[in-house]
Amino acid sequence: MKAFTTVIQVRFGHVDPAGIAYFPRIYDYIHEVYEEVWEQHVGVRYDKLLMGERIGFPLVHSEVDFKAPLRFGDRPVVRVTCFKLGTSSLGLRYVFKVDEVVCVDAHMTTVCTNLKEMKSFPLPKQYRERFEAILETP
């Protein structure tokens, strides 16, 4: 199965007194990777999508399993696949691994939204094709 992959770094300011990434920081990591998917895989910077095209993808559902801690200095590999590609909905799965150990397994569902009208609309074809390239197959 094809996927988009990247590496992030857990920095000192990202960890709590126990030395692990505090769970809200995981959501920040996911969103940072989401923006990278748009820029590196889809080919459009997320800020240009929001400000220029006035297309947004608000989060409508999230499900995150925290399986092992991310610690200061870790450089997890994040693998992103598309688990759902509806008319206007987009479901992306983010799997964070450190040394082949799954630390985070997240499913995030967003909806393609016209920011002028604040209404959902079909995902444009040129973007749909890029997410089809990383679509999970049963």
Per-residue pLDDT, averaged over 71-83, amounts to 97
- Percent of the chain surpassing pLDDT 90: 98
CATH classification number, 4-132, choose in 3.10.129.10, 3.40.50.300, 3.30.360.10, 3.40.190.10: 3.10.129.10
pTM (2 decimals)?
0.95
Overall average pLDDT of the 36-61 stretch: 97
The 10s digit of each residue's pLDDT in 63-72 is 999 999 999 9
Candidates 127, 135, 128, 136; CA nearest to 43 is 127
Backbone angles phi, psi at 75, to 5 degrees: -125, 75
> Would you say residue 138 has pLDDT above 80?
no
| Ramachandran angles phi, psi of 20, nearest 5° | -120, 155
